Structures are given as C-alpha cells and as structure tokens.
Structure 1
Amino acid sequence: MNTRGFTLIELMMTMGLVAIMTSVAVPSFNGSLKKNRAVTQTNNLVLAFSLARSESVKRNIQVSVCSSTNQSTCASSTNWANGWIVFVDQNNNGTFEDDGDSNLCELGANNLPSEDCLLKTHPGLSGNPTMTGSSNNVQYQSDGAVVAAALFTHTPNTCIGNERHTINVTTIGRPYSSEVSCP
C-alpha cells in the first residue's frame, strides 16, 4: 500500500514547532519595529535641520525650524514630540508670522519672500516618545550657520539599551545624531 500525506501526529508536531518559533520571533520583531521608529523619528528632525540649512544658503535668507503643536505656528515649548515647522524667517525673529492670506510664499523685491514662508511641516510623533530640545527654535543664517548651537534628545516611551538618540546642531549648522544609553 502506497500512502501519501501526513499523519495527525506529524501535523501536530509541526504546528507545535511553528508555535514555539513564532513565540520567540514576535517579541524580537516588536523590538526591531520600536527601534526603527525611534531612528526614523530622529532622522526626520535631522532632515528638517538639513532642509533649513540648505534653503538658507540657497535663498540667502534666514530659515528657522521651530517646535509646533498645530503645524502652523511656533510653540514656546521645547517639546518637539508634537511636531515642527520649517519656514523662511523674513524678520529673523525665529517665529512664524503669516499675514493671513492664502498665499504662504509671496515674493517681493529681488525675488525674496515679503513675509514668512512655510517650507515644510511635520506632525506629532507616534508611539508617545519624548523629544526635547535646548531651544524651541533653531535659526539658520544665510551662510548656513546657526545663531546658537542646539541639542535634542529623543527617548522612546519604553526605552531599553541604546534606543535613545541625541541630535546635535553645531554652530556651523551641521546636524548629526547618535545613539545613547537609556536613562
């Protein structure tokens, strides 16, 4: 007699092994997802600083990045987890001021913005992390340098190992991030 297929015992053994392997793999996969989220969120702020630096040099005007809770005005808080905005800072005061019309980037003399011009917005961070900075804004001068160096710290909701990240914005305007140990 020639039979093909699996016996019930073989099938149960295979399903048991799959269940054991899954129970081991899922927690480590969740850890990978959490670490990837932290790196991505940190890199998004680094990209905002890089955009501000390049736009300030390209446009030969001050460009600022500030924390924002509604992505249309600057917040006075140093909590960056609620989001941020990048904008041309026409009057160099580090605060986004719109004149209320629908055109956010009106050009005036010499083809320069005649008002603050919103370049990029970023919504609040998912996963309930904390992201704090030494200031509520970073102002890039027309040469790409910043008015004052700044330090930012991103800490996931449940921080384990080296999941915490810092972002340093040097006086020459270059942002860089690094992993640090959780508190």
Structure 2
Amino acid sequence: MSASRTIRGFTLVELMITIAVMAIGLALAYPSFSSVFRSNRVATRTNTLIASLNLARTEAIRSNRGAGVCSSADGSSCNGANWDAGWLVFTDMDADGQMDADADTVVRYVEADANLSLASVEDVIVFDNRGRLDAEVTLTLESTDCPVNSELVRNLTLGRTGQIRMEKAPCTE
C-alpha cells in the first residue's frame, strides 16, 4: 500500500509577491498614519497640561495657601518663560507666588516633548488659596511639524476663576 502525500505550501515567488504588495500598501498608508500620530500627540499633551493646571488649582484650594505651574527643565526649579523645556506643578507653601526649592513642594513634573511647542506670556501661573488667578492666562500648544491648515494648535485660556477653555486652531506655517 503506497500512500502518496502532497506537500502544500508557498513557493518563493508567491512569498516575494506577497511581501512586495504589503510593502506598497504600507508605503501608501504611512502619510495618513503620520498625521494621526501628530494629532494624537497634540491631544495627549493638551490633556496632560489641562490635568496639571487642574492639579495646581486643586492643590491651591486643598492646602489653603496657593499653588502654581511654571516652566522647568529639571523638575526642581522654574526656568523663566521657556515652556518648551517642560513644566512642574508646585504647592506654594509660603504664598509668595514663586517656586522656592527650600520652602515649596513639587507635586508633579512633566518632561519636554521635542515634537511639541508650548508658549505663554506668563513665567509662572499662580492660583490663590481659593483656586483663582489674578488675570486671565493663555497657553498655546502646537506641533513642531505643523502642516498649513491642519488643526494641530491648541489655545488654552484660564479664566480668573481658574476654569480652562480649550480652542483648536489651524497651523499657520
């Protein structure tokens, strides 16, 4: 009794054609995925910034002294208006409106993202013990790779009551 077996599989030519078709499909899909990645990066960073601002406001009310958010490159001190370097949330224990390493407590530090730019006129955003600001503050977050007319700019406006309003805007350059 002889049993004949047939061996089934792919030939090398079939495998190479399949790989070539997949490579062409990926090459066509990549540009649309890169815009999705940019959009998700902006959305994630915006949510992180909003969470940091809300945390500072909550800490200000909870501690009954005040709290703030400032730009920081090292996570232990403020460094002026360079918001691209990252930022930190601090509890203002001495209620002077500034981050003092020996007197105040760092609550959270968020590192920089080289793909995003964050700007504000204010060096420090300070909430009083009631969670309020002295004046309205605007922060602008945008992708560093921002194609014209893509809505990858986020303008965050903090009202004097501490409430945050976010608006999308198109890229200009």
TM-score band by shorter chain is: 0.7 to 0.9
Equivalent residue for 2:120?
133
The letter of the residue matching 1:175 is I
Equivalent residue for 1:80?
83
Equivalent residue for 1:93?
96
* C-alpha displacement of 1:3: 6.5
| 2:104 paired residue among 109, 116, 124 | 116
Equivalent residue for 2:164?
175
Q: 1:60 to 1:16 in 2, by over 3 A?
A: same
Q: Deviations over 1:66-125 (max 9, x none)?
A: 112222112222x311011111113333211123xxxxxxxxxxxxxxx32221112222
* C-alpha displacement of 1:8: 4.9
Between the two proteins, what is the percent identity of the paired residues? Answer: 29
Q: SS of the counterpart of 2:85?
A: coil
Which piece of structure 1 moves more, 133-142 or 7-16? Answer: 7-16
User: Is the aligned partner of 1:23 residue 2:36?
Assistant: no
* C-alpha displacement of 1:22: 0.9
**What is the TM-score when the length of structure 1 is the normalising length?**
0.80
User: Is the aligned partner of 1:62 residue 2:51?
Assistant: no
Equivalent residue for 2:144?
157
* C-alpha displacement of 1:31: 2.1
Q: SS of the counterpart of 2:126?
A: strand
Structure with larger Rg: 2
* C-alpha displacement of 1:7: 4.6
Equivalent residue for 1:147?
134
Q: SS of the counterpart of 1:81?
A: helix
Q: 1:92 to 1:15 in 2, by over 3 A?
A: same
Contact 2:68 2:89 in 1 (8 A): yes
The answer for unaligned runs of 5 or more in structure 2 is none
What is the alpha-carbon distance in structure 1 between the residues aligned to residue 10 and residue 76 of structure 2?
63
What is the alpha-carbon distance in structure 1 between the residues aligned to residue 28 and residue 95 of structure 2?
54
* C-alpha displacement of 1:178: 2.7
| 2:42 paired residue among 38, 41, 51 | 38
The letter of the residue matching 1:178 is E
